[in-house]
Amino acid sequence: MTVIEMAVGDEGSRFNTVVAIALITTLLMVLLLPMAFAAGKETSYSAYEDSSDASQLSDVRTTLGPRGAQIGDDVESQGYNIANTISTPMLVNDWKKPHLTMLLIVGPEKPIDETEAQAIYDFVTKEGGKVVVAADNSNANTLAGMFGLTYYDAPLYDSQQTYGIINEDGDEFMHPTNVWGLHSINKDDSEMQDSEKSTGCSDQMIENKILDSCRMPMMFRQPTGIKVGALETDDPESSDYIERDINVLSYASKAAFIDIARDGKEGTLENDAPGDIALTVRIDYPGIVTSDLLRGAAGDSDSGIGDLTVTGSIVFVADDEVFANQYWTLSRAMEAGLSDECTGATCWQNELTGGDFWQGNHAYFHALIWDMMELDNNDLANTIKNQRDNFNIVFDESRHVTGVASQPFIETISTIVLLTSDDFLKWLIILNLGLLLLVSIMVVPEKANWRHVFDLTRFRERPTKLDATQYRQRVQKALFSKVRVFYDLTRDQMALKSPAEVQQMIGDPRLVELAYSTTRTYSPQELRELLTSIRRWGKK
C-alpha cells in the first residue's frame, strides 16, 4: 500500500517561518550592531563612569552634586540636583522648570544634529534654560552656528599663554597646545576696564558673589578656537530680532593660531591667526517670561505662582578637557604634574593682583554656573533659592559611547523618545514591541500539519508528458500572444491582420521565420534560445 503525504496549509507555515526568521534576524541586528559599534571604544567624558580616569567627569558630578560630598581637603559639593539624558537633548523643552535647569554637553563624540540643535536653541531663547557646551572639534558646530559661532576643527597653538607640566623625572614640559586663559564671569574681555582685568577673583569675592569685576585663570589642554560672528536676528530692524548679550569671556593671545595645516608652524599660510580667537563665549537672552513661585513683597513669604522674568544663557568652551578629572581639582591636577602657578614666559600671576593662584578649573565653573542660574533672581521665591537641589544640572550622556552591553538599550530608548516624551507612553511602546515579538513567535506552528491519504487507485498513474512535436507550436503561440498584448489588440483584431502586417509588427527576422516558415526545423536548444528572444522582444 502506498502512503502519499500531503501538506495542508504549507504556504501559511512557510510564511510564518519567514516572519519568525525575519523578526529574529532583526532582533539580533538591533542587539549586535550597537554592540559592535561600541566594542573596542572606551567611554570618555562621562559623569557616570566612576573611575579615577583623567578623561572622565566623575569629579565634576561629585562637586556639583548633593551636599556632603567632598574631593580633596577643601572642594565641597555645591548641592545641585544631578541628572542625565541618555537618549537625546531634543527633549529639553519638556523638562520640568527649564529655567532652573542647566544642560552640560561635554566632549560630543558624535555631531549634534539639526533637530537637537533647534531644540536646545529654543530651550535657551524661549524657556530660559542654561547650557554649557565644551568641545574641541566641529561636532557642536550645528548648534554653535545657530548662535553665530563656529568651532575650528583643528588645534590651537599659543606660544605666549602656555603652562608647563612636570614629568616623572621632575623636568618641566612646555607645549604650545597646553593653553591657559584669564576668564571673566559675565563681561566681554574687550569691555572690561584695566582695573577689572588685573583683579583676580579672591575667595572672599567668590564667597560674597562679587563676580562682575574680576578674572580667574583656567587651564586648557589641546583646545581649538571659536570664531565669533553675527546673526541676522541681531539687527533691531529685523522682524526676527531677539535681544541678546554676547560676551567673549576669554581670548587666546594675539600670537595664537589655528594649526589647520597640522604642521605646528605659525608662518604657514593655511594656518589661521586672526588675533581674536575666542576660548570661551557666553550669550545671554534676558527678559524671558515664564511661570514659577514668586517671592513675597516683604521677602519673608511666598506670594504664589506668577510670571517670572528669567535669562536664558549658553556658554561655549573651546576644549572638553577643562571639565576632565585631571584639571578639575588642584589635588588631582598636581598628581598629573600641574601646578597652581604658571611658569611660562607670560603667566597669569603677572597680570593679576589678588586671587591669582589657580585652584583647579572647578573654582571658575562653580562661580560661572552660580551666575548663570537664577540664584540671584530677586523675584524668585526664597523657598526655591535657598534649596540648591531645586536647580538641576543634566549631563548629556547621549553624545558618548556607552558600554557594549548597554549600547542596544541606549539606542532603543533614543529611538522611542523620538516618538514621545511622555513616560507612560514610552514604556507602553516598549511593552507593545515585546508583546508583538512574543505573538509573532507563538503563531508559528511547531511542525507542519500533515494529512495522510491512502488511495490505491493512484498507484499506476504517471504524469502526462508533452509531445515533442508540439514544442514549436507552443513557442509560436507564445510569440503571437506577446505581439498581440504589446500592440493592445483583441484576439479578433489580431486574427484580421494579414501575414505581411504581422511580420512588420514583429520586426525581428528570426522571430518572423519562427512564425511563418513551414520548412525550417528547430532543435530544443534553438527553441529555448527563441523563447529568451521572445521575452526580450518589445523591450528597449
Q: How many domains, in total, are found in the chain?
A: 3
Q: How far is CA 519 from CA 250, 515, 516, in A?
A: 98, 11, 9
- What tens digit of pLDDT does each residue of 45-65 get? 787 776 666 778 889 999 999
Please indicate, yes or no, whether residues 66 and 24 belong to a single structural domain of this protein: no
What is the enclosing helix (H) or strand (E) of 1? none
Please tell me the distance from the alpha carbon of residue 209 to that of residue 311, in angstroms, as a whole number: 18
pLDDT band at 92 (very low <50, low <70, confident <90, very high): confident
Q: Which residues contact 227 (CB under 8 A, 6 or more apart)?
A: 149, 150, 151, 152, 274, 277, 278
Q: Which residues contact 48 (CB under 8 A, 6 or more apart)?
A: 58, 61, 84, 395, 397
Given 3-state DSSP classes, what are the helix, strand and coil percentages for the chain, each rounded to the nearest 5? 40, 20, 40
Q: Are 57 and 326 in contact (CB under 8 A)?
A: no
Please indicate, yes or no, whether residues 223 and 154 belong to a single structural domain of this protein: yes
C-alpha cell at 160: 605666549
Q: Is residue 464 part of a domain?
A: no
Domain termination site, one of 354, 375, 400: 400
Please tell me the distance from the alpha carbon of residue 323 to that of residue 364, in angstroms, as a whole number: 11
Pairing of the two strands 257-258 and 156-157 = antiparallel
Q: Is residue 191 part of a domain?
A: no
Please tell me the distance from the alpha carbon of residue 424 to that of residue 247, in angstroms, as a whole number: 42
Query: What pLDDT does residue 439 have?
Result: 64
Domain termination site, one of 370, 400, 430: 400
pTM of the model: 0.70
List the one residue out of 79, 144, 131 whose CA is nearest residue 103: 131
Measured CA angle at 346 (ends 342, 347), to 5 deg: 30
Please indicate, yes or no, whether residues 223 and 341 belong to a single structural domain of this protein: yes
Please indicate, yes or no, whether residues 310 and 377 belong to a single structural domain of this protein: yes
Query: What pLDDT does residue 102 have?
Result: 95
Q: Are 262 and 100 in contact (CB under 8 A)?
A: no
Please indicate, yes or no, whether residues 292 and 441 belong to a single structural domain of this protein: no
Please indicate, yes or no, whether residues 26 and 105 belong to a single structural domain of this protein: no
C-alpha cell at 489: 489588440
C-alpha cell at 253: 593671545
The DSSP secondary structure of 306-321, one letter per residue, reads EEEEEEEEEEEES-SG
Q: Are 343 and 180 in contact (CB under 8 A)?
A: no
Q: Is pLDDT above 70 for 273?
A: yes
Q: Is residue 422 part of a domain?
A: yes
Please indicate, yes or no, whether residues 357 and 499 belong to a single structural domain of this protein: no
Q: Is pLDDT above 50 for 520?
A: yes
Please indicate, yes or no, whether residues 8 and 99 belong to a single structural domain of this protein: no
Please indicate, yes or no, whether residues 387 and 507 belong to a single structural domain of this protein: no
Domain that holds residue 503: 471-536
Q: Is residue 52 part of a domain?
A: no
Please indicate, yes or no, whether residues 290 and 335 belong to a single structural domain of this protein: yes
Please indicate, yes or no, whether residues 147 and 296 belong to a single structural domain of this protein: yes
Domain termination site, one of 392, 426, 459: 459
Residue 398 one-letter amino acid: S
- What tens digit of pLDDT does each residue of 152-174 get? 999 999 999 999 888 777 788 88
C-alpha cell at 406: 548597554
- What tens digit of pLDDT does each residue of 417-444 get? 544 445 555 566 666 666 666 665 555 5
User: What mean pLDDT do residues 359-373 have?
Assistant: 95
Please tell me the distance from the alpha carbon of residue 476 to that of residue 487, in angstroms, as a whole number: 17
Q: Is residue 484 part of a domain?
A: yes
Q: Is residue 206 part of a domain?
A: no
pLDDT band at 536 (very low <50, low <70, confident <90, very high): confident
List the one residue out of 306, 319, 294 whose CA is nearest residue 226: 319
List the one residue out of 71, 76, 130 whose CA is nearest residue 105: 130
Q: Is pLDDT above 60 for 6?
A: no
User: What mean pLDDT do residues 524-537 have?
Assistant: 84
Q: Is residue 131 part of a domain?
A: yes
Please tell me the distance from the alpha carbon of residue 311 to that of residue 288, in angstroms, as a whole number: 6
**Count of all residues that appear for the chain in the document:** 540
Please indicate, yes or no, whether residues 137 and 166 belong to a single structural domain of this protein: yes
Q: Is residue 195 part of a domain?
A: no
